[in-house]
Amino acid sequence: MTWFDRVVSRETAGTDLLRVVVCAILFTHGAYRIYLGEVSGFGALLQDSGVPAGLLVAWLVCIAETVGTVLLALRILVFPISLILSTIYFVGVAMFNWQRGFFVVGGHANGGWEYNALLITCLLVTTWANWERKWF
């Protein structure tokens, strides 16, 4: 089996595409935060919101979004990484987005949770589609 066969197969092309695209988006999100040097600001926001060791948690989130998504795209540790990422976005909704309403942008609201709901759903679909390969 080649590395490409591990990532994509003809039978599961739809869910494979979903997994790889979601991983690319989440990787970019975490990598860009690291690249811009915004991890400490994210940590301060978490600390101010009552999260103990906010900077450590911010780094762990960024690592999950970068290293974790590369592993997830390669179908390595699918179950734990999907669960970790889903939990991160669910907690983000509860702490920051829920009170802003559903819509992220537009006339109705700003900063809502609609895209987080989509990401969580995509991650859960990825988990379900790769259940038999949940570890390696």
Q: Is the pLDDT of residue 44 over 80?
A: yes
| E strand or H helix at 133 | none
* Amino acid, res. 109: A
Percent of the chain with pLDDT over 70: 91
Please state, in angstroms and rounded to a whole number, the distance separating the CA atoms of residues 121 and 127. 10
> How far is C-alpha 31 from the geometric centre of its chain's CA atoms?
12
pLDDT band at 1 (very low <50, low <70, confident <90, very high): low
d(CA 70, CA 80): 13
CA 37 to chain centre: 19
The Cβ of residue 11 has, within 10 Å, a number of other Cβ atoms equal to 7
In this prediction, residue 3 has a pLDDT band, given cuts at 50, 70 and 90, of: low
State both tokens at 36. 């811009």
- How much is the average pLDDT of 6-16? 79
Tokens of 15: 């869910």
- Provide mean pLDDT across the span 101-128: 89
More confident residue, 90 or 129: 90
Sign, CA dihedral 83-93-20-55, equals negative
- Output the pLDDT for position 53: 97
Tell me the per-residue pLDDT of 45-98, one tens digit each, with 9 for 90 and over: 999 999 999 999 999 999 999 999 999 999 899 999 999 999 999 999 999 999
